[in-house]
Structures are given as C-alpha cells and as structure tokens.
Amino acid sequence: MTVIYEDEYGKEWPFSPEELAKTVIEACLDSEGCPYESQISLLLVGGPQMQEMNQKFRGIDKETDVLSFPMQLYPKPGDFSLMEEDPDSFDPDSGELLLGDIVLNGDRVFSQAQEFGHSVEREYAFLITHSMLHLMGYDHMEEAERTAMESRQDEILKLLDINR
C-alpha cells in the first residue's frame, strides 16, 4: 500500500497524521477485502483552500470537511472483481490499484471534534474512513446506501478501537 501524503495545512496535530492515516487506510482496505496493493493520495488543507476546491470540483461555494475523488467504478460497493478488466486501474510502475484521492480539511477536523465532543484523532480517523469507503464505491445519497456506509464506518473504527 502506498499513501501519497501531502500536508498543505501546516498546523500541529496531537498525533502523527501521516501514521494514523496509513493505519486507517490499511484497516479500510483489509475490512473491504481489497485483494490488491493499492495507492491512495491524501492531501491536508485548511478551510479556505477546501472551499475553493469544493467550488471548483462540485460547484458548491462553501467549505466542507472532506472530498473524495474515486478513480474506480464498482459493480457494487467494495466489489473489486472487475478491476483486472481495466489495465488503467493499476499504476504501470508499481502495479498498485489506483483508488483515488482524499482531500481533508484540517480546520474542520478540529472544529468538528469539539462540536461532536470527541477527540481530534477520532474525527480525523472517521473522515478518512468515510472517504476511503467512497473510494471503494460506497455512497450515501439514498437511505439504504447511507445506512450501509455508516455501518461499515462504525465497524472499521471499532476494529481500530477509535471510539467517540
């Protein structure tokens, strides 16, 4: 697994954000039974930069907590069975499955942790888990999808012993 980590947020964290990200990403991949070595990009930004990105990519001119940019299509969430049919799904140099990009708003990690009454570590892990599930085909536009995605998020965070 390769995590391409970039911190443009530049503020101090009460833990190692790169190490926690790798731990959470690996747990998500294992939990979904991903049969491939995978590559994920993670970019940490602040609120103003996130608002710009949300406007540019989603046409929504407001700040958000996390953006997910999946690179794969799935027949159903977490179903990796068709990946080998598309050679562009894999990095030609490393052979890793290209899952996509995560952009995380550091300002919102801190403010939402306080708002929800849990640790910054828990909020950070939750948002990465949420985004990883998007990269593996999950969504929450419909009630059944939302319920399934929330259940997977809770299971993964419980496995990591990262609780509210």
Read off the pLDDT band of 92 (50, 70, 90): very high
In this prediction, residue 30 carries a pLDDT of 97
Read off the pLDDT band of 9 (50, 70, 90): very high
pLDDT at 164 over 90: no
Tell me: the pLDDT tens digits for 13-69? 999 999 999 999 999 999 999 999 999 999 999 999 999 999 999 999 999 999 999
In this prediction, residue 66 carries a pLDDT of 98
Q: Report d(CA 110, CA 127) in Å as an integer.
A: 12
What end-to-end distance do the CA atoms of the chain give, in Å?
28
Contacts of 161 (CB under 8 A, 6+ apart): none
Task: Report the percent of the chain where pLDDT is more than 70.
Answer: 100
Tell me: the pLDDT tens digits for 110-149? 999 999 999 999 999 999 999 999 999 999 888 999 999 9
In this prediction, residue 141 carries a pLDDT of 85
Sign of CA dihedral 94, 98, 99, 100: positive
15-to-18, 58, 72, 123 alpha-carbon distances in Å? 9, 31, 31, 12
Read off the pLDDT band of 87 (50, 70, 90): confident
Q: Report d(CA 125, CA 118) in Å as an integer.
A: 12
Q: What is the pTM of this model?
A: 0.96
pLDDT at 163 over 90: no
